């Protein structure tokens, strides 16, 4: 009996682990929904438009893989706004600044790694203008 109980527990843990790993493979639809929710509940839209207009900070609908000049510790660097750049910009806004907006401030965030990654995926999908199958 004790053995079976153990097996049952093991199966539960196993199923839980599998469920978790499959949920990290999100569909585009899920990314768009959850990303949009994070984007609005955290007030990103207050400063960043998604239609190219400048509200306060840089618009984020046409940024992916663009060359951006940033200022970091008083030095200028030109880099590509790739996945890594976006993630850093979202999870550590003080790390460096887009030079064109260096007199403006983005508030510090406290996203989990998952949330930051989801926001990045969301922005990349938006930027590539991919249609979502509804």
35, 58, 118, 126: which one contacts ligand HEC (CB under 6 A)?
A: 58
Contact 62, 52 (CB under 8 A): yes
**Parallel, antiparallel, or unpaired for β 75-80 and 97-98?**
unpaired
Of how many residues is the chain composed? 134
Contact 104, 117 (CB under 8 A): no
CB of 33 to ligand HEC, least distance (A): 16
126 binds ligand HEC per the rule CB under 6 A: no
The dihedral formed by the CA atoms of 80, 85, 89 and 91, expressed in degrees to the nearest 10:
180
- The CA distance from 65 to 50, in Å, is 16
Span 68-107, contacts to ligand HEC by CB under 6 A: 68, 86, 89-90, 93, 97-98, 101, 104-107
What are phi and psi for residue 69, nearest 5 degrees? -95, 125
47 binds ligand HEC per the rule CB under 6 A: yes
35 binds ligand HEC per the rule CB under 6 A: no
31 binds ligand HEC per the rule CB under 6 A: no
118 binds ligand HEC per the rule CB under 6 A: no
Binding positions for ligand HEC, rule: CB under 6 A: 42-44, 46-48, 56-58, 60, 63, 68, 86, 89-90, 93, 97-98, 101, 104-107, 109, 119
């Amino acid at each position: 009996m004790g053995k079976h109980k153990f097996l049952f527990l093991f199966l539960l843990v196993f199923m839980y682990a599998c469920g978790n790993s499959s949920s990290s493979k999100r569909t585009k639809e899920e990314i768009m929904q959850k990303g949009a929710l994070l984007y609005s509940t955290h007030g990103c839209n207050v400063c960043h438009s998604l239609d190219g207009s400048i509200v306060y900070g840089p618009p984020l609908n046409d940024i992916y893989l663009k060359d951006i000049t940033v200022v970091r510790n008083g030095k200028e660097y030109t880099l590509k706004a790739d996945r890594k750049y976006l993630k850093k910009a979202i999870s550590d806004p003080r790390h460096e600044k887009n030079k064109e907006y260096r007199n403006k401030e983005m508030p510090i965030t406290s996203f989990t790694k998952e949330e930051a990654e989801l926001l990045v995926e969301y922005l990349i999908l938006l930027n590539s203008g991919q249609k979502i199958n509804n």
